[in-house]
Each structure stands twice: as C-alpha cells, then as structure tokens.
Amino acid sequence: MQNEYLALVRTNRNYRLLWSGAIASFFGDWFNTIALYVIVQELTGSPLALGAVFITKMLPFAVASPLAGLLTDRFNRRRLMIGADLARAVIVLGFLLVDRPEELPLLYALIAIQVLLSAIFITARVSSIPNITSAEELPVANALSAATWSVILAVGAALGGFATDTLGTDAVFVLDSVTFVVSAWFLYRAVISQETDPLEPGAKLGSAVRDIVAGWRHMVEHPHIGRIAFAKALWAVGGGGLVFMLAILGERLFPAAPGLGIGILYSFRGIGTGVGPVAGRHFVPDERRWPALLGSTVLICGLFYLVIAVLPWGWWWIAPLVGIAHAPSGINWVFSTILLQRRTSDRFRGRVMATQWLLLTTTDSLSILAAALLLEVGGLGLRTGILVFAGVEIVCGLLWLALVVPAERRLTAGRATG
C-alpha cells in the first residue's frame, strides 16, 4: 500500500509539483489559522467574535464557489492557482496591521479576501488532479493529498500553536506569506492539461450565470452526481459547530497557553483525518460500498463526540478521542471527492466541485453561527453544546443511510442488469 503512494510521487512529475506546492501552502494555512484564533481571543475573549473568524473563513468561500467553478472550467487552472497564491502572499501581510479591538473589521475583511482567492485555488487544484493522473492513480492521489493535509494539520497546528506562543503572531503571518510564494514556484514548473470551453469574447454576466446554472442542472439531471455532492455538507451540519468548539475546548484545557491547547486538539484532528482515508481504502476497497460508508462515517463521528461530551476533560484522553472522531470524517471527505471526480466529466468538473464547496461552506457557516450564538447568548455550556451537535451529527448519518443508500443500491443494480 505504501509503495503506490511513493511510486506516484516518484514517477508522476506534475502531481509531485502540485503536491509539493500544497505542502508549503498547507503549513502556512495552519500557522495562520492558529494565530488568528489567538489574536481574536486575546482582543475580545468572545465566543461570537471567534465564531466570526470561522464563519469569515467559510461564508466568502460559499459565495465565491459558483464563480470559482466557472473560472476553473473556462480558464487555465494552473495560471489561476499561481495568481491566487501570489495574491494571498500579499493579503496575509495585512494581518500585521491588526493589534487593537477596533481593527477587527480590517481583520475580517482580509480573511474574506484571502478566502475568496482560496476558493479559486482549491477548486482549480481538486479539478486538476484527474488531468494529471491515470484512472488507477486517481484514488491514490486523492488519498495522498488528503493524508498530506491531515499530517500537516497535525504537525502545522501543533507547531503553529507553539510558534504563535513563542515567536508571536507577526512572525507567523510573515511565514505564511512565504509559503504562498513557494507554492506558486512549484506550480509554475508543472504542466496541467485540461478540457475547457472558453468564454466567448465579450461574454457578459448573463452568459456566466447561465453557465453556472448549467452546472447545477447537470447535477439535477444526474442525481448520482448530485447526491454525492451533499456528502461533505451532511457532515458539516453538526461537524462545523463541533470543530469550532474544539478551539474553545483547547483554551479551556490549556488556559496558560491557549495557542498550544488549540494546536494540540487540531493536531490530533489532523492525525485522524489522515489515518482514516488510508485505512478506509485498505479495508473497503470496493467503491460500490463507499456511498453507504459516507453516511456511516458521519454517524460514527457523532458517536465519538458524544463520548467526548460526557467524559471528564483531560487533554491526554480527549485529544486521542478527537483524532478517532475525525478518522471517519476524513473518509467522508476523500471518498466523496473520488466519487465525484469519477462520475463528472472534465468540462463540468469545476462547477460540480465548486457546488460541493458551496454546500459545504454554507452549511459549515450556519453550524458555526448556531454554536457561537448558543454559547454567547443562549446560555449553553461548552459541554452541553458538544453534546447537542454530536446528536445532530448522529441524526444526519442515519438520514443518509435511510434516504441515499437505497438510491445508490438501485443505481448499482441498474448498471449490473444494463
């Protein structure tokens, strides 16, 4: 199993360059994220203000996703990624200007701009993977990409928390800027072919809207694509609030070093999301079983957070449980991505992937907002909040198993008889 990952990186130059750029960018992202959480907590101490950071990292992504999908279907994806990297390298330096509570609107505005650019970058990157890999390499490439994100989350969150507490947030933001430049350099050296339908010269807004709607219509007309696009959003109904509350839980567990506390919990989350897809491919290699697995992973994630909610809190057992809870969420993420990439033609892939992000980030934002409001003004304690959102996660998993799995079984049966 390990050899196929090594072989992919060793023999596929273009994937290796895309992957290397992602490593640099992911490290910067997690350093940046922990530093932002610490700044807002230090300046405000408000769960709602911290929730606003999470939402600002999600909602602009949702708004930009339809346009990002169209751009990645119509323009050169490699150039879009390079441009997004270089622009983000400049934007994150703006965080250096924020050091007072009254400057928080500037912080949120800069986060929003960074996320808008990230929407273009991520949609282009995920849409490019099938263009630079064979059919046999595609599952390996997606599993490796997800495992890399997870390992860097594990390492980057812990190091980011340590760096934030020791070097300060300014140094972290400068490092983040450098990582985007490094990512752009790797992408500059890659060759990524694609099938595009270029926009006609002088094309207007109405034409762009029609193209975006055509992507949505494609998903409606092909429900086996449309329902898989909801898999990540299904997890986010309860998962968004749970991940948000992890940041507050980290501060509770390590009041003297909140950055380190947040970093440790997010680090174990990364370990779980990395191990999950690799183990999932080993134990469930048959892709016909993956749609049922998508709902089961949401259910299992909720069950482990239920355990976290009722146990006494000590980081040495809560942190490993967080890792176990997110192993199934990693399976949900990777397997739904592979299924969408396989089921969608290249000319629609960007718009389908972008719609997936739209559904995910909108659901994530609403879940985080609900959690933040319940903690800030609803009088809900953190433990009770985790319990409530774990229950929501369990219900979502059961609904998927009851409603989506039968349709997938009919699809499989129809293909077998056809």
Residue 69 is part of a domain; what is its CATH number?
Answer: 1.20.1250.20
- The answer as to whether 2 is a domain residue is no
Sequence letter at residue 289: R
- The answer as to whether 401 is a domain residue is yes
> Structure pTM?
0.75
- The answer as to whether 198 is a domain residue is no
Question: For residue 106, what are the contacts with CB-CB under 8 A and spacing of at least 6?
Answer: 94, 97, 98
Per the CB < 8 A criterion, the answer to whether 363 and 369 are in contact is no
Q: What is the pLDDT of residue 195?
A: 67
For residue 135, what are the domain limits?
9-191+205-417
- The answer as to whether 361 is a domain residue is yes
d(CA 80, CA 290): 32
- The answer as to whether 55 is a domain residue is yes
Distance of CA 230 to the CA centre of its chain: 14
d(CA 17, CA 190): 6
Q: How many domains would you assign to the chain?
A: 1
Q: What is the pLDDT of residue 31?
A: 78
- The answer as to whether 251 is a domain residue is yes
Residue with tokens 């949120």: 108
Instruction: Find, among 141, 122, 121, the residue nearest to 131 by Cα.
Output: 141
Q: Which residue stretches of the chain have pLDDT < 70?
A: 1-2, 195-208, 414-418
Query: What 8-state DSSP symbol labels residue 92?
Result: G
- The answer as to whether 1 is a domain residue is no
Gap between the terminal Cα atoms of the chain:
33
Q: What is the pLDDT of residue 187?
A: 94
Q: What is the pLDDT of residue 297?
A: 96
- Neighbour-count burial for 261-292, b at 16+ CB within 10 Å, e otherwise: bbbbbbbbbbbbbbbbbbebbeebeeeeebbb
- The answer as to whether 225 is a domain residue is yes
DSSP annotation string for 99-119: -SGGGHHHHHHHHHHHHHHHH
